[in-house]
Structure formats: C-alpha cells, structure tokens
Amino acid sequence: MSAPLDGVTVVSLEQAVAAPYATRQLADLGARVIKVERPDGGDFARRYDESALGQSSYFVWLNRSKESLTLDVKHEAGARVLHELIAEADVFVHNLGPGAAERLGVHAEPLRARNPRLVHCTISGYGTSGPWSDRKAYDLLVQCETGLVSLTGTPEDTAKVGISVADIAAGMYAYSGVLTGLLRRANTGEGTAVEVSLFEALAEWMGQPAFYTRYGGTPPSRVGAQHATIAPYGPYTSRDGDTVVLAVQNEREWVALCRILLDDAGLADDPRFATGSARVANRDALNALIGARFAELDTPSALALLDRAGVANGRVNTVPDFLDHPVLAERGRWRRVGSPNGELTALAPPVDLTGVEPVLNPVPALGEHTDAILRDLGRTDTEIADLRAAGAV
C-alpha cells in the first residue's frame, strides 16, 4: 500500500521546532518535504547541540525524510527559485519571524491568489494580528505567558516543562490543520490558509486550569509531581526507596484503594476523604496515610496490591529507563534512521495505519538536495554554478 501522502509536495521555510515538527509528520506519511535552509549554516537547530553522533538531537528528531535545499531567499535569484517551488507545491509552511513573510511575498494572500489549490500554513508566536503580532516568541516565553510555568513545580519554586511543549503543541495543530486543508481541497478543489500560533496552541492545552480558575475562584496549586486537582494522584516512596506513582480517577478506585492497599475499608467514608474535592482539600493528611502504608511495603508488594485494586500505577523513570522500556521494545517501536554521521535509533510515529509503513528516510545534510531540486526546476549545471557564485544557493 502506498503512503497516504504520496504525491503531495510540501515546501517549508522553517527553523527550530514547531514547523519542522509539523512537516516531519507529513514526511512520515509519505509527503515530499523540501526544507529551505540558509546557505550560511541552515536551520539554526542544527547547532543546538552535538549529542547525536555529533549532530543536534533536536535536528535529527525533527528532520528525517526531508530534502534540504540551501537558498538565500533575500537574494533576487534565490527568491525566484522559492516562488517557482511554491507554485508547484501542494503545501507551503513557514514559521518566519514577524513581518518576514510579507517582506518576502510568501504570505497567504498572494500565493493563494496565484495558486488557489495551495494549502498555506503560517506558524507564528502570538498570531499575525492583534497587539502582540510583532513580538518574537520562544517556547519558554510562551510557557510563561500562558501561565503554564505558574502551575509547574513545587509550592516553593516554579519550573518549565522539560520538553518544548509550546512548539510541539503548535506543530501538532499545524500538522492537523494542513491535513484538514488537504481534505478540504480533495472535497472542494480549493486550498486554504491555515494559521497557528504557539501562544494559542498552548492556551488550548491550558483549558482545564482556565475553567478551574475562572469558575472555582482560585488557580490550581503547584504540587510537584502530584495532580493539582485530583487526589490521591502522584508519587509515593516504597520501603525499597523506589518512587511509585498511583492515580485514583473515580470513587470505585478510591474504595478499592482503601480496602486493598490501605487495609481500611472504612477510610473510604471518612468525611475528610469521601469526595474528590474533600481529598484535594485534605491532601496532606491523605498523603500521610498513604505514605505510611508505602513505607511498610516493598516495591513489588505495593505494585501487586495496586494492580489487585485496579488502580493505575507506574514508576518514575529516568530517560535511560524510558529508552529501555519494555513496551517500546516488545511492540517494535524503535527503528533505524540514516543521517550524515551514521545510523540513529528513532521511534516510529505513534499512529499506526493498517497496511501502511511510515516513511523513515535519512536526516539530510545541509543543502544535500540543492542541485537535484534546481535541476528539477530546469536549471542547467552552468546556471546552478552561477547561482552558487552569486550566493543565491
């Protein structure tokens, strides 16, 4: 079976995380993704670190299966090449800084006027209109502006989320927006303009604390690795010194936890703990009871009792623990992906489609496909050499 996006060409003027994450997922589904990079170093994410066989961990994660074209889009000849590519593309994606798309003439209106079938996707920091449209935005800034950092950490200290969650959120919405645009085009013949901002993508993910705060009167508390509005839901230390996490989601599980793990069925009706809100209000007393019981149990016994009670549980893993997780190993989620510096181990995309294998082609070297793409556009070797001499590619 062919890949779902076979025959779809994506041109992306992208850097960092959000746009590359969106287009990598399109590439996973078989789209041809032409990544336009600066000739003088390319996507700056290439230089974030050197941990993956001398390459950036960010870059190898986000850019497999793409073609790299080096292009100075501010050079007249480079801009001409870019517009030729977009004219033949199905999708154009960019996450340029404020005002840059308009200066380059690659914003939605003129491109879609020339090619009404084009799906045009803009990823911005705070939106292309409104009072903050001219501000740069990076992941940590957006985590702070949405209030996420105020919810993350301990009562004493705030903390950022340990991954680029605002970029990932925006990349996911850009990806689904582009797919929706392609579906609309298949049904109507018309493309569309898709716009996503990092701020509004993460704002959507802040929905529960927003409702809780607006209508409850106070924001959720910072409670470390515990759940701010559900209890018991968090980590406890066993007699062995291991950290075990449990999650009670409903009254049936709470009753079972009291009867089987805590060995005190009557505790379920204690007024301090009889409802979810009461358990949150009396979290310290509840944690003291559960913590005392965990201190009596070795880790296997604690996990066995939680399983018997039907209460979800797990351990606090390190990243090395995660890399060796039996679920990933036994479900065959690790695959091999090529790169300029050798093969890397990467996770397969999390969505499985019956009969469809994801496309896991190599991570490109900077400008690796420039000559081939220019030849596809009709440039001769002499013309390509002239473009190089002029600094346009």
Q: What is the pLDDT of residues 46-102, one digit of tens each?
A: 999 999 999 999 999 999 999 999 999 999 999 999 999 999 999 999 999 999 999
**Residue % of the chain over a pLDDT of 70:** 100
pLDDT for 310 equals 96
Token pair in block for residue 327: 């679920």
CA torsion 371-372-377-383 (nearest 10°) is 30
End-to-end CA distance of the chain: 37
Mean of pLDDT over the chain: 95
Quick: pLDDT tens for 345-354: 999 999 999 9
Closest by CA to 115, choosing from 31, 215, 18, 11, is 11
Asked if pLDDT for residue 293 goes beyond 80, the answer is yes
- Structure confidence at residue 1 as a pLDDT band (50, 70, 90): confident
Name the CATH code of domain 233-315 (choices 3.90.320.10, 3.40.630.150, 3.40.640.10, 3.30.1540.10). Answer: 3.30.1540.10
Q: Which CATH class is domain 9-206+325-390?
A: alpha beta
Quick: pLDDT tens for 195-211: 999 999 999 999 999 99
Quick: pLDDT tens for 358-392: 999 999 999 999 999 999 999 999 999 999 999 99
| 326-361 burial: b if 16+ Cβ within 10 Å, else e | eeeeeeeeeeebebeeeebebebbeeeeeeeebbbe
| Its pTM surpasses 0.85 | yes
What average pLDDT score do residues 298-312 get? 96
Look up tokens 């990544």; give the residue: 35
Asked if pLDDT for residue 217 goes beyond 90, the answer is yes
Token pair in block for residue 270: 């204690």
Strands, sheet with 312-315, edge to edge from the N-terminal-most edge strand: 233-237, 243-247, 312-315
Count the residues in the chain.
393
Alpha-carbon gap, residue 143 to 146, rounded angstroms: 6
pLDDT for 375 equals 97
Quick: pLDDT tens for 5-34: 999 999 999 999 999 999 999 999 999 999
Domains 9-206+325-390 and 233-315 share a fold: no
pLDDT for 2 equals 87
The answer for 311, left when phi > 0, alpha when psi is -120 to 50, beta otherwise, is beta
pLDDT for 175 equals 98
Quick: pLDDT tens for 131-171: 999 999 999 999 999 999 999 999 999 999 999 999 999 99
C-alpha 142, offset from chain centre? 14
Strands, sheet with 32-37, edge to edge from the N-terminal-most edge strand: 66-70, 32-37, 9-13, 91-94, 119-124, 192-197
Q: Is 319 exposed, middle or buried (0-12, 13-18, 19+ CB in 10 A)?
A: exposed
- Nearest 5°: the CA angle 140, 146, 152 is 70
What average pLDDT score do residues 269-291 get? 95
Domain ranges across the chain: 9-206+325-390, 233-315
